[in-house]
Amino acid sequence: MTHENIILLTVGHIPKDCASETIICGDPETSLTKEVNLSIPESGKSVLRIEDDMLFITETLSWFDPKDKKWENLIRDVFKGYLDSQKMPDLSIIPQLWAFFNMEGKLPKNCKFFDDSSHSGEFKNTGFSDGFHWYFRYMINENGEYFNEQIAVIDTGKGLKNANS
Among 82-91, 97-106, 144-153, where is mean pLDDT lowest? 82-91
| Predicted local distance difference test score (pLDDT) of residue 1 | 47
pLDDT band at 164 (very low <50, low <70, confident <90, very high): very low
| Predicted local distance difference test score (pLDDT) of residue 52 | 94
pLDDT band at 147 (very low <50, low <70, confident <90, very high): confident
The vertex-90 CA angle with 84 and 96, nearest 5°, equals 115
| Predicted local distance difference test score (pLDDT) of residue 15 | 92
Strand partners, 113: 152
| Predicted local distance difference test score (pLDDT) of residue 92 | 76
Task: Evaluate if residue 26 carries a pLDDT over 50.
Answer: yes
The domain segmentation of the chain, as residue ranges, is: 6-162
Distances in Å between the Cα of 39 and the Cα atoms of 53, 98, 110, 153, 155 are 10, 13, 25, 20, 24
Contact 123, 23 (CB under 8 A): yes
Cα gap 140→39, rounded to integer Å: 10
